[in-house]
Amino acid sequence: MQYIDNIIFLILLVAGFGLFAKSLSKIYRNIRLGREINRSDHKAERWETMARVAMGQSKMVKRPVAGILHLFVYVGFVIINIELVEIIVDGIFGTHRFLSSIFGHSFYNFFTATLEILALLVIIGVVVFFIRRNFYGVKRLTMKELFGWPKHDANWILIIEFALMMAFFKMNTADWVLQQRGLLPEHGSFPISSTFLAPIFNNFSDSVLFFTEKAAWWFHFAGILFFMNYLYYSKHLHIILAFPSTWFANLNKKGKFNNLESVTKEIKLMMDPNADPYAAPAEGAEADVPSKFGAEDVFDLNQVQLLNAYSCTECGRCTSVCPANITGKKLSPRLILMKTRDRLEEVGRNIDKNGKFVDDGKKLLNDYVTKEELWACTTCNACTEACPILLDPLSIIFEMRRFLVMEQSAAPQELNLMMTNVENNAAPWQYNQADRLNWAND
């Protein structure tokens, strides 16, 4: 019976990681429902961008308060990961503070002391975030579009982080007091625990302390597993997906929108006086013509756009700078990504249930995102500039506009007029091309 702890630990560990892997594979499968896009060029620049933006959080410094607090919490996340190594070894083999045997005395002291300080910073960050989000009224965090799950989600994660860090301190304090009493070998240095919590813990009996240390350790471990599996249901997926999202980010100038190759072919044929319009398409040519122009549903978006939808932190930096949103229009770039994710999840559940996607009579366009939102976008790129993890809501808006115009001819009337003018007069207004130089003689 002496191995019962180790066995329970192993079972939890395998189940936790197994579930997590399952969620990740679901995300991967869903993302692959999108169109393929080649973003494997400029590898060096991509690694550099990822290191700078995702790891170095270079875009977070634009808002210093949020930036620094976020850094605390982020570092906390990293701690959790380093910690996890020690926890796993201790848990499987029943050792106590395994890393001390590898690091040596003084380095382990340094290591544990650093973790304590970082954990304190996390607590500060989490508390301030909680207040900002719930009582202080930063507009982008209190907008109507976040009511319901997104708001609870944000709070839950703060609470979980807080609880995890508290468990961490309790564990350390109990350990430290026991070490002082000579009941545990002396490993580590705990500046925060020994100063702030030890005075309380000193009053506890040995057995209470042993129990607290174990309980906090288990809580911490189970908490991490829970946290990990919670990610799938949360905007906090960004702590993982920010990495691929920044790696696959668009490296072109923001003003450069893609040209549809299939259209080029068709127009070249039209312009070529020698082309036979009735000629059968060359063998294999059919394959690279997409079945439709633009995007009506998640299947028509590309895989990076779908990855973006899963990565979005719902921080609203994009929406808070969107000129359309600022002036009270329905468009919110954040909401475009949130809805894309919702629809993609719905499609995923459909596939889980039926084995393959069975038409549910719904589409991203109209059922989730309305035309009114799409037409309000000025393509100004404020949203893409603001996003701390280089997401591109504009590209999704743009693809859906393409669908509206090229597949459904559903542009607002005035735009139809403009487009006809461009087509017939080579200018968006109804002027004659022959008059183009009249200004010189006015």
Partner 1 sequence: MDFNIKTMAEYAAEGKSPEVLFWVGCAGSFDDRAKKITKAFCKILNKIGVEFAVLGQEESCTGDPAKRAGNEFVFQMMALTNIEVLNAYEVKKIVTACPHCFNTLKNEYPSLGGNFEVVHHTQFLKKLMEEGRLKIEGGAFKGKKITFHDPCYLGRANDEYEAPRMLLEKLDAELVEMKRCKTNGLCCGAGGAQMFKEPEKGNKDINVERTEEALSFEPKIIATGCPFCNTMMTDGVKHFNKNTEVEVKDIVELLAEAEDL
The site for ligand SF4, by CB under 6 A, has a size of 28
d(CA 322, CA 385): 10
d(CA 217, CA 215): 5
d(CA 24, CA 28): 6
Residue 267 binds which one of partner 1, ligand SF4, none, with CB within 5 to 8 A depending on kind?
partner 1
Taking the complex as a whole, how short is the minimal distance between the CB of residue 333 and partner 1, in angstroms?
A: 13
Q: Scan residues 336-375 and list those touching ligand SF4 (CB under 6 A).
A: 337
d(CA 111, CA 331): 48
Q: Which is nearer to partner 1, 5 or 272 (CB)?
A: 272
Taking the complex as a whole, how short is the minimal distance between the CB of residue 37 and partner 1, in angstroms?
A: 15
User: H-helix or E-strand containing 416?
Assistant: helix 413-425
Q: In a 3-state reduction of DSSP, which class is residue 302?
A: strand
Enter the tokens of residue 319.
């929406």
Enter the tokens of residue 338.
């949130």
User: Going residue by residue from 125 to 164, which x/- string records binding to ligand SF4, judged by CB under 6 A?
Assistant: ----------------------------------------
d(CA 241, CA 232): 11
Q: Which of 12, 10, 28, 34 is nearest to 396 (CA)?
A: 34
Q: Scan residues 353-382 and list those touching partner 1 (CB under 8 A).
A: 372, 375-382
Helices (H), 248-329: 261-271, 303-311, 317-321, 323-326
Task: Give just the sign of the alpha carbon dihedral 129, 130, 131, 132.
Answer: positive
Instruction: Figure out which of the listed residues 326, 352, 354, 357 binds partner 1, where binding follows CB under 8 A.
Output: 326
Q: How many other CB atoms are there within 10 angstroms of residue 382's CB atom?
A: 21
Residue 353 binds which one of partner 1, ligand SF4, none, with CB within 5 to 8 A depending on kind?
none
Task: Give just the sign of the alpha carbon dihedral 54, 55, 58, 59.
Answer: positive
**Quick one: DSSP state of residue 404?**
I
Taking the complex as a whole, how short is the minimal distance between the CB of residue 19 and partner 1, in angstroms?
A: 41
Instruction: Figure out which of the listed residues 65, 200, 267, 275 binds partner 1, where binding follows CB under 8 A.
Output: 267
Is residue 418 part of the contact set for partner 1 (CB under 8 A)? yes
User: Going residue by residue from 40 to 79, which x/- string records binding to ligand SF4, judged by CB under 6 A?
Assistant: ----------------------------------------
**Quick one: DSSP state of residue 35?**
B
Q: Which is nearer to ligand SF4, 140 or 363 (CB)?
A: 140
User: Going residue by residue from 212 to 251, which x/- string records binding to ligand SF4, judged by CB under 6 A?
Assistant: ----------------------------------------
Instruction: Figure out which of the listed residues 253, 277, 280, 288 binds partner 1, where binding follows CB under 8 A.
Output: 253
Q: How many other CB atoms are there within 10 angstroms of residue 187's CB atom?
A: 19
Are 84 and 76 in contact by the 8 Å Cβ rule? The answer is no
Instruction: Figure out which of the listed residues 97, 111, 323, 405 binds ligand SF4, where binding follows CB under 6 A.
Output: 323
Instruction: Figure out which of the listed residues 154, 192, 209, 312 binds ligand SF4, where binding follows CB under 6 A.
Output: 312
Q: How many other CB atoms are there within 10 angstroms of residue 242's CB atom?
A: 23
Instruction: Figure out which of the listed residues 264, 281, 290, 360 binds partner 1, where binding follows CB under 8 A.
Output: 264
The stretch near ligand SF4 (CB under 6 A) out of 3-11, 20-28, 75-83, 317-325 is 317-325
Instruction: Figure out which of the listed residues 59, 178, 393, 403 binds ligand SF4, where binding follows CB under 6 A.
Output: 393
Task: Please work out, in degrees rounded to the nearest 5, the angle formed at the alpha carbon of residue 10 by the alpha carbons of 7 and 14.
Answer: 145
Name the CA radius of gyration of the chain, rounded.
28
Q: List contacts with partner 1 (CB under 8 A).
A: 252-257, 259-260, 263-264, 266-268, 270-271, 293-294, 321, 323-324, 326-331, 372, 375-382, 385, 398, 401-406, 411-412, 414-415, 417-419, 422-423, 426-429, 431, 433-440, 442
Q: List contacts with ligand SF4 (CB under 6 A).
A: 312-318, 322-324, 331, 333-334, 337, 377-383, 386-387, 389, 391, 393-394, 397
